[in-house]
Amino acid sequence: MIFHLSFCSILSLFQLSDTGVLLTFGWGLYGQCGLGNTNDVLRPTCVSSLLNTRIEAVAGGLWHSVCLCDHGRVYTFGGNQFGQLGLGTGTDHTETSPRLVDAPILENKNAKVVSCGARHSAIMTDDSKIYSWGWNKYGQLGLGDTIDRNDPCEVPTDDCTPKNVACGWWHTLLLAESRP
């Protein structure tokens, strides 16, 4: 079996197998390893709740994790102190197992790129739309304000077509093409 190393957060690491199985290991205090508990994980361990879902991409933030399945659906798990899971729920809970981000704004959308900052998340869909959610103290969600979001919100990109998105610790970058 071939493993492809993907994105790693500061304290947790993820691997995707060649069959789309998600393996996690590392610090688990907020459930960011997705194994249904808050234990640290000392070796690569399969996230069994996603065994019937082919995972295509993963990203890890400080306290949370996001993954994309082959159908463009988004799953999140870990700490939700600032809404970084995008589940529309309060910010005082932890999800120790992957949960589908079932936001109406993502209906009929297929995510193809995912990135996590320390406390925020962003995706790009196959129609080159950017959606972000979570902590927004410095405007890192790109929404023109500093209000935290519990649900994905579309980032306005009026004069360009996004090609990629990458979250830094407290900022976000878009690679884009100018529109004529």
Report which residue type is found at 101: V
First to last CA, the chain: 46
**pLDDT per residue over 59-80, tens digit each?**
999 999 999 999 999 999 999 9
**What's the rounded Cα separation, in Å, for the pair 80 and 91?**
5
Per DSSP, the residues of 50-84 read GTTS-EEEEEE-SSEEEEEETTS-EEEEEE-TTST
CATH number, span 3-178: 2.130.10.30
pLDDT for 120:
98
**pLDDT per residue over 20-52, tens digit each?**
899 999 999 999 999 999 999 999 999 999 999
**What's the rounded Cα separation, in Å, for the pair 165 and 77?**
20
Confidence of residue 7 (pLDDT cuts 50, 70, 90): very low
Q: Please say if the pLDDT value at position 14 is more than 70.
A: no
pLDDT for 150:
96
| The 94-100 sheet, strands edge to edge | 55-60, 64-69, 74-79, 94-100
pLDDT for 93:
84
pLDDT for 18:
64
Strands 12-17 and 22-26: antiparallel
**pLDDT per residue over 97-153, tens digit each?**
999 999 999 999 999 999 999 999 999 999 999 999 999 999 999 999 999 999 999
What tokens appear for 41 in the block? 């994980």
**What's the rounded Cα separation, in Å, for the pair 10 and 35?**
18
Report which of 86, 141, 137 is spatially closest to residue 111, judged by C-alpha positions: 86
pLDDT for 6:
39
**pLDDT per residue over 79-94, tens digit each?**
999 999 999 987 678 9
At residue 104, the 3 state secondary structure works out as helix
Q: Please say if the pLDDT value at position 2 is more than 70.
A: no
